Structure 1
């Protein structure tokens, strides 16, 4: 009997807590508005990456591997003489070459890459022209160096927050109120790369003799770096 008498107050207390939680949830969403603001700027590309490759064919896979390695080692040795240029090995793969009936292997073909990266465009362009005497170009691309991007984003943070606050105040006044509070605010970065311009791409891609080396002339282009402020405000009752 004592247990039965206590059941009713406990049930009433549970119902009361559930009602209070629902009311609180509704109150938290009341007069809340989602906003988005953005600050951006154009940042010139200051990092250049060039991918060069060598590709050969031979009936003897061992001789083919030796030939490819010799060409790569020579290119790496030349590149490492310039400390301002970062040298990395790229993809390397070999595959069989079949006869016309695709039944018999008649040779082996191998391709290997070397990747060069630097913020010194002049030095890397000159080295690229030299290495194109023995290698071929697979790709040339430009980007914003990590340190430059971080500095640009840090400079845009305050602008993005100021833009968010200005928009929040505008919306608050449109609702006939003067005050608001920020419920949550997310800051994120993004970037849009504009294509680079190759001034003499036809000469960069052509096979060059040992007597002359053409230095690629390029315009690196730029990217749009932005900071997005995305959040929710709660407008005070007028």
Structure 2
């Protein structure tokens, strides 16, 4: 289970006036809030691939098959599609080109897991699944950040008030506060070697079984 980490730290001081000079008791203080959030977005990477001796013919076949996939996608308006890497690669044997491999990559993104599952089944004979990756959408990360930041700040204040009371001081002053939103690391993509069960499902045009899982988001 991956974590999104946000840093919230500050210096809490109470003030005491001695001989016309200000002296402070400096206390480092932090607070933490966290929650588990269900992944709400799926990224799928597809590849249309052909191998053979005629590179021009292979390119035509890949282009034709890619067009079929994109045409199929018209029935799924909630799935965002984008063609990316297009590669023509020579295959060598005995230091000579023996054949060619042409590959077109298509990236899919959607919050509708049922639609994505069905689509992957529908295009089973057109493209291979290269990887699947569940993650939190940008909007979900931002909303969770804001909620947890509010919670962490309240915990920070509660701790500060408690420490102030324990030191018997009339108040405290916050002199430095920093917030580091950290980095979000989604779950690792399921690579081709991990997708045997998915491939077995799509060969029969059945929906692919998908489990989104969750991520733990924390603010410290």
User: C-alpha displacement at 1:129, in angstroms?
Assistant: 1.0
Structure number with bigger Rg: 1
Assess if the C-alpha contact under 8 Å between 1:126 and 1:216 holds in 2.
yes
| Partner deviation per Cα, 1:79-133 (whole Å, 9 max, x = no partner) | 133211101113221211111x2x2111111222111111111111100111122
After TM superposition, the score normalised by the length of structure 2 is: 0.78
| Distance of 1:72 and 1:56 partners within structure 2 | 11
Equivalent residue number for residue 29 of structure 2: 35
- The correspondence for 1:222, drawn from 199, 214, 218, is 214
Q: Which has the higher strand share?
A: 2
User: Highest relative contact order (Cα 8 Å, sep 6+), 1 or 2?
Assistant: 2
5+ unaligned residues in a row in structure 1: which ranges? 1-26, 229-238
Assess if the C-alpha contact under 8 Å between 1:129 and 1:215 holds in 2.
yes
| Distance of 1:84 and 1:175 partners within structure 2 | 58
Equivalent residue number for residue 43 of structure 2: 49
SS in 2 for 1:216: coil
| Distance of 2:145 and 2:199 partners within structure 1 | 36
5+ unaligned residues in a row in structure 2: which ranges? 1-20
Assess if the C-alpha contact under 8 Å between 1:193 and 1:222 holds in 2.
no
Equivalent residue number for residue 137 of structure 2: 145
Equivalent residue number for residue 65 of structure 2: 71
Written as runs of structure 1 = structure 2, the 5 A alignment for 1:75-224 is 75-99=69-93, 101=94, 103-190=95-182, 191=184, 193=186, 201-206=195-200, 209=203, 212-224=204-216
Assess if the C-alpha contact under 8 Å between 1:50 and 1:140 holds in 2.
yes
Aligned residues: 196
Assess if the C-alpha contact under 8 Å between 2:134 and 2:187 holds in 1.
no
Q: After alignment, is 84-93 or 170-179 more displaced?
A: 170-179
Aligned pair in 2 of structure 1 residues 159, 104: CA closer, same or farther (>3 Å)? same
- The correspondence for 1:60, drawn from 29, 33, 54, is 54
Assess if the C-alpha contact under 8 Å between 1:189 and 1:225 holds in 2.
no
SS in 1 for 2:159: helix
Assess if the C-alpha contact under 8 Å between 2:92 and 2:98 holds in 1.
yes
User: C-alpha displacement at 1:185, in angstroms?
Assistant: 1.4
Aligned pair in 2 of structure 1 residues 46, 159: CA closer, same or farther (>3 Å)? same
